[in-house]
C-alpha cells in the first residue's frame, strides 16, 4: 500500500489530504472519505489504510484547510471526557464556518481530483463520512448524483438539512446511527423521508453505541460497532463500484 499527503486545488486555495492507494499497479475504485470533526489524525489514517487494503483508492481531505493544514487543532493521543470541552471550544467555530456553500464548492474539487488520479478506475465513486463528515457525504451525493454511486455515513446528523436533500440522491445509502444520537421514533421518521425521496438505503441504530463509536482514539469507541461498520460498508462498495 502507498500513502501520501496530497494537495487539492479548490476555489478557495489548496486542501491538504491524506491518501491511501493499493500499490499493485492496477486501477481501483475511488472513495472520498470525509473526516469527523476531530480531523485527520492517526486513527482516521488507519481507517483509510484499512479501506485501501480492500482494494480502494481513498482520499481524506482536510475540510478545515482554510484555517491551515492538518492538524488544525492539536489533539491528545486519546480523547477522553475530560478533554472534550476544551477541544470542542476550538472545533465548533471551524465546524460552524464550514457552511453548506463551502461543502458544495469543495466537493466538486475533491471529486475532480480523485477521479483524475491515475490510480483510480473510471466510473462513479463512493463517499463515506463520520460525524459531520456524514452530512458532507450526503450533500456531496446530492450535488453530484451522476458521480456518486454509494454513500455511507456513521454517527452523523444526516437529516440536518431536511428531507429536501434526499430527493437529489440517486446513490445507494447506508446510515449507521449511534444509539445515543437517535431514538427509534426519529429513525422511523428519517426512514420515511428517505423512502419518500426514493433513496435506496439501509439505516439502523448500532446497539449500545454513543456518538463517535468508530473512532478508536476516543472514549466513544466501540470495537464491535466498528466491525459492524465494516460489515455494512464493504458490501455496499463491492456491489455499487466497478472493479477492474
pLDDT band at residue 74 using 50, 70 and 90 as cut-offs:
very high
pLDDT band at residue 243 using 50, 70 and 90 as cut-offs:
confident
What would be the CATH architecture of the domain defined by 2-240? Answer: 3-Layer(aba) Sandwich (3.40)
Helix, strand, coil tally for the chain in percent (to 5): 40, 25, 40
Q: What mean pLDDT comes out for the span 27-50? A: 98
Distance CA(115)–CA(131), nearest Å, equals 24
Nearest of 133, 144, 136 to residue 111 by alpha carbon:
144
Sign of CA dihedral 32, 33, 38, 39: negative
Helix axes 132-143, 100-115, angle to 10 degrees: 70
- Taking CB atoms within 8 Å and a gap of at least 24, the contacts of 67-74 are 67/94, 67/97, 69/16, 70/16, 70/18, 70/39, 70/40, 70/41, 71/39, 71/40, 71/41, 72/39, 73/38, 73/39
The pLDDT tens digits for 113-145 are 999 999 999 999 999 999 999 999 999 999 999
- Compare 242 and 155 and report the one with higher pLDDT: 155
Whether the model pTM is above 0.95: yes
Predicted local distance difference test score (pLDDT) of residue 244: 58
Distance CA(143)–CA(37), nearest Å, equals 22
The answer to whether residue 84 scores a pLDDT higher than 90 is yes
Q: Is 210 helix (H, G, I), strand (E, B) or coil?
A: coil
* Mean pLDDT (the chain, rounded): 97
Count how many Cα atoms sit within 13 Å of the Cα of residue 133 in the half-sphere of its side chain.
27
The pLDDT tens digits for 165-221 are 999 999 999 999 999 999 999 999 999 999 999 999 999 999 999 999 999 999 999
Looking at residue 166, the DSSP 8-state letter turns out to be: G
Distance CA(40)–CA(121), nearest Å, equals 25
Domain range annotation of the chain: 2-240
Amino acid at each position: 500500500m502507498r500513502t501520501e499527503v496530497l494537495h487539492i486545488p479548490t476555489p478557495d486555495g489548496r486542501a491538504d489530504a491524506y491518501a491511501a492507494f493499493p500499490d499493485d499497479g492496477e486501477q481501483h475504485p475511488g472513495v472520498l472519505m470525509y473526516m469527523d470533526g476531530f480531523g485527520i489524525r492517526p486513527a482516521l489514517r488507519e481507517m483509510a489504510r484499512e479501506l485501501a487494503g480492500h482494494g480502494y483508492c481513498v482520499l481524506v481531505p482536510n475540510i478545515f484547510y482554510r484555517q491551515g493544514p492538518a492538524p488544525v487543532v492539536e489533539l491528545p493521543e486519546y480523547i477522553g471526557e475530560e478533554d472534550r470541552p476544551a477541544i470542542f471550544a476550538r472545533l465548533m467555530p471551524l465546524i460552524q464556518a464550514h457552511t453548506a456553500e463551502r461543502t458544495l464548492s469543495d466537493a466538486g474539487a475533491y471529486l475532480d481530483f480523485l477521479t483524475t488520479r491515475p490510480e483510480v478506475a473510471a466510473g462513479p465513486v463512493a463517499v463515506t463520512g463520520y460525524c459531520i463528515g456524514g452530512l458532507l457525504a450526503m450533500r456531496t451525493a446530492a450535488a453530484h448524483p451522476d458521480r456518486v454511486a454509494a454513500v455511507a455515513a456513521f454517527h452523523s446528523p444526516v437529516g440536518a438539512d431536511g428531507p429536501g436533500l434526499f430527493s437529489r440522491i440517486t446513490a445507494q445509502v447506508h446510515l449507521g446511527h449511534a444509539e445515543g444520537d437517535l431514538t427509534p421514533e426519529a429513525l422511523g421518521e428519517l426512514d420515511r423521508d428517505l423512502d419518500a425521496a426514493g433513496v435506496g438505503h439501509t439505516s439502523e441504530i448500532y446497539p449500545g453505541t454513543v456518538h463517535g463509536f468508530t473512532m478508536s482514539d476516543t472514549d466513544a469507541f466501540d470495537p464491535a460497532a466498528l466491525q459492524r461498520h465494516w460489515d455494512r460498508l464493504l458490501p455496499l462498495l463491492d456491489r455499487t463500484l466497478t472493479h477492474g
